[in-house]
């Protein structure tokens, strides 16, 4: 089976002065995942390796560099899925784990699927995953963006969960002008196994405890070796409504090419719920697909015997 790997670094209105860094981050993640595949590693291993690189790159909204919630804290979500067994692992609202994709991988190997908050961190401790100081995940760029949003929304700590704030907790954006740099990867290994992974810091100035699409199977990711694998990015509240990742892979199962499936899935997202976002795909033959309806989406992919493609 020919090797294939595709990554994304978020779909939003990426500023011109950040494009090169987004592309380089995706290029490095692609290289890390590809090395695993070339050495005979499993698709799951390649996905974890690639996403860890993206989490460690401060330019993306995942791991280091994530956006801040309304309290000024980083809360991380991630998930992985094995396309052969349909097993998955996911974590949400994690604050002290630098690479939540690795924690999600450990959850996949357990008897549960999704762990959140303190429970996820207790599991991390038992699995030997080291903790970091939460402040290490915050970069000055996102602190400044948070302060701007904080002022714009006239935030008041005492009514953060009141009716006035709840009304604004899930705005319907006309453009993703603030980071939506959720990151993800889909890989196909030599044995024909597919895997997908997604990791994020969520949406800027989100309510503490908010969980988006990224750790939810069928929404933020999906993998099935009989159809394909998908990772999504964008406005999570809309992505969840149409189960974007499952919709995209089902379209492959219905006979569409990955590129056709990606475009059709994004059309569903826009037409049915006015959603904004993007997705990346591989089918069981390793053919890539991608689509987005935001101004830009950072991505990179490679198939065995083909050129490395990097774009926004």
Q: What domains appear along the chain, each with residue ranges and CATH number?
A: 4-158+180-311 (3.60.20.30)
Identify the bridge partners of residue 232 per DSSP, sorted by sequence position.
279
How many other CB atoms are found less than 10 A from the CB of residue 28? 17
- Residue 149: the pLDDT is 83
Structure tokens at 14: 């990426």
Contact 201, 61 (CB under 8 A): yes
Per-residue confidence (pLDDT) for residue 133, from 0 to 100? 97
Quick one: tokens of 31? 């290289």
What pLDDT is attached to residue 181? Answer: 67
Q: Is 182 a catalytic residue?
A: yes
The pLDDT of residue 179 is 55
Q: Would the pLDDT of 174 be above 50? A: no
pLDDT tens-digit series, residues 238-259 = 999 999 999 999 999 999 999 9
- Return the pLDDT at 154: 58
- Read off the pLDDT of each residue in 63-92 and give the average, rounded to a whole number: 97
Structure tokens at 87: 């097993």
Q: Using alpha carbons, list the distances in angstroms from residue 142 to 73, 80, 157, 168, 207.
A: 11, 26, 19, 20, 16
Q: Among all chains, which residue has been given the structure tokens 């774009």?
A: 311
Question: Packing angle between helix 100-108 and helix 43-56, nearest 10 degrees?
Answer: 160
Supply the pLDDT for residue 63.
97
Distances (CA, A) of 254 to 226, 228, 231, 248: 11, 11, 19, 10
Residue 172 phi, psi (nearest 5) = -105, 95
Where helices occur in the chain by DSSP H, the ranges are 16-38, 43-56, 100-108, 117-126, 140-152, 163-167, 236-242, 244-253, 258-273
Of residues 85, 174, 182, 227, which has the active-site annotation? 182
């Amino acid at each position: 089976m020919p090797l294939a790997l595709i990554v994304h670094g978020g779909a939003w209105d990426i500023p011109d002065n950040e494009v090169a860094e987004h592309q380089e981050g995706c290029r490095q993640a692609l290289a890390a995942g590809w090395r695993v595949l070339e050495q005979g590693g499993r698709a799951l291993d390649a996905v974890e390796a690639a996403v860890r690189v993206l989490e460690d790159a401060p330019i993306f909204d995942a791991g280091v560099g994530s956006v801040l919630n309304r309290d000024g804290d980083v809360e991380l979500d991630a998930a992985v899925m094995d396309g052969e067994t349909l097993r998955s692992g996911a974590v949400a609202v994690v604050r002290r784990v630098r690479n939540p994709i690795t924690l999600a991988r450990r959850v996949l190997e357990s008897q549960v699927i999704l762990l959140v908050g303190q429970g996820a961190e207790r599991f991390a401790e038992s699995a030997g995953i080291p903790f970091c100081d939460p402040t290490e995940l915050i970069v000055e760029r996102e602190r400044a963006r948070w302060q701007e949003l904080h002022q714009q929304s006239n935030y008041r700590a005492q009514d953060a969960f009141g009716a006035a704030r709840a009304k604004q907790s899930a705005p319907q954006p006309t453009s993703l002008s603030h980071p939506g740099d959720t990151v993800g990867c889909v890989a196909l290994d030599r044995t024909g196994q597919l895997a997908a992974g997604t990791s994020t810091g969520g949406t800027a100035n989100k309510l503490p405890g908010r969980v988006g699409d990224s750790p939810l199977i069928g929404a933020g990711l999906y993998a099935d070796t009989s159809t394909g694998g998908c990772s999504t990015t964008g406005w999570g509240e809309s992505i969840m409504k149409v189960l974007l990742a499952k919709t995209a892979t089902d379209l492959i199962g219905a006979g569409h090419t990955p590129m056709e499936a990606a475009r059709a899935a994004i059309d569903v997202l826009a037409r049915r719920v006015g959603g904004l976002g993007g997705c990346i795909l591989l089918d069981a033959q390793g053919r890539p697909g991608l689509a987005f309806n935001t101004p830009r989406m950072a991505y990179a992919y490679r198939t065995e015997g083909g050129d490395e493609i990097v774009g926004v």
